[in-house]
Amino acid sequence: MRRLSLLFVLLTACSATQELAQVEDTANPTAPAGAVARHDAPARWLKLSPYGFEALAARMGTEGAAQLWTDAALQEFARALKAQDQPSVRAAVLCGRSRDPRAAEVLIARLEQRVLGPDRNSDAGDVVAAAALADWPEQDGLADRLVALASGDAPHPDLEVRAECAASALRLGAPTESVAPFMLTLLRALTPEEREHPADWPRQRTVAWAKSRAAEALSERAGIPCSFRPDGSFAHQAEETAKLERALGLSD
């Protein structure tokens, strides 16, 4: 069985390598000499197998420099992000891995459309887009725009996307008090404590993932290990939420 498993890994790795070899150099051949090199969207990026696409994404950004996209590529990614399916996830990954400042604008502009998908998994691309914006280098105003998607008068209507926007805002240096109240309210959702800390979003039963992301981001900001369990007892969730609140200096 172990030999079969190793053989499977080798075969899938070889398959991904062969696929990647078929992806031609996407540097724009029409760019004038001395111009900044911009790349078209990778060939067959929507048709690559999961292993082939993973290899493609892993190859980007390995030398520390941003990979800049052409206008046509960015428009293609922006269209894919609207699909709310696997292409939207792939587009978010390629934008995020590139570290192209204009790709960051594509991602945040998509999030600012504040679209609630028809299905539970429709938000996958938007969640990846929000996560990809964390630690984006030198992008002025990005943290403030993410804060506006997490808190305030018009937050993102999808709870998971909203939580990821809040997490990325903290990673980018947003003030703790700008998003932490929302995240602490999220940790109290579906527990007896929500009576005193009511949510400002429609009630939903699937909050475990969003709670986990909020707890991880708040723990990182507080500089303490994350021990919050979204499936823990009400007493556990209350205790861990209060601990985070104290660590962040937000308790009364």
Q: What is the mean pLDDT of residues 170-199?
A: 96
Q: What is the mean pLDDT of residues 211-240?
A: 97
pLDDT at 34: 45
Q: What span, in angstroms and rounded, lies between the C-alpha atoms of 142 and 146?
A: 6
User: Which single residue is written with the structure tokens 């950004």?
Assistant: 61
H/E element, 232: none
Q: Which two tokens stand for residue 70?
A: 């052409």
Which residues, listed in sequence order, are joined to residue 205 by a DSSP beta bridge? none
Q: Are 87 and 93 in contact (CB under 8 A)?
A: no
Q: What span, in angstroms and rounded, lies between the C-alpha atoms of 52 and 14?
A: 10
pLDDT at 17 over 70: no
pLDDT at 195 over 50: yes
Q: What span, in angstroms and rounded, lies between the C-alpha atoms of 204 and 183?
A: 15
User: Which single residue is written with the structure tokens 């500089």?
Assistant: 223
**Residue-wise DSSP of 159-217:** HHHHHHHHHHHHHTT--HHHHHHHHHHHHTTTSGGGGTS--SS---S--HHHHHHHHHH
Q: Where are the domains of the chain?
A: 37-174, 175-252
- The CB density around residue 240, as the number of other CB atoms within 10 Å, is 20
Q: 243 exposed, middle or buried (CB, 10 Å; 0-12, 13-18, 19+)?
A: middle
Confidence band of 140 (pLDDT split at 50, 70, 90): confident
Q: 95 exposed, middle or buried (CB, 10 Å; 0-12, 13-18, 19+)?
A: buried
For residue 41, which phi and psi values (nearest 5 degrees)? Answer: -60, 140
pLDDT at 191 over 80: yes
Confidence band of 4 (pLDDT split at 50, 70, 90): very low
pLDDT digits (tens, 9 = 90+) for 152-164: 899 999 999 999 9
pLDDT at 35: 53
pLDDT digits (tens, 9 = 90+) for 20-55: 455 544 544 444 444 578 999 999 999 999 999 999
8 vs 13, 147, 176, CA distance in Å? Answer: 8, 44, 46
Q: Which two tokens stand for residue 121?
A: 């998994």
Q: What span, in angstroms and rounded, lies between the C-alpha atoms of 104 and 96?
A: 7
Q: Which amino acid, one-letter code, is at 32? A: P
Confidence band of 213 (pLDDT split at 50, 70, 90): very high
29 vs 40, 48, 98, 111, CA distance in Å? Answer: 10, 23, 19, 32
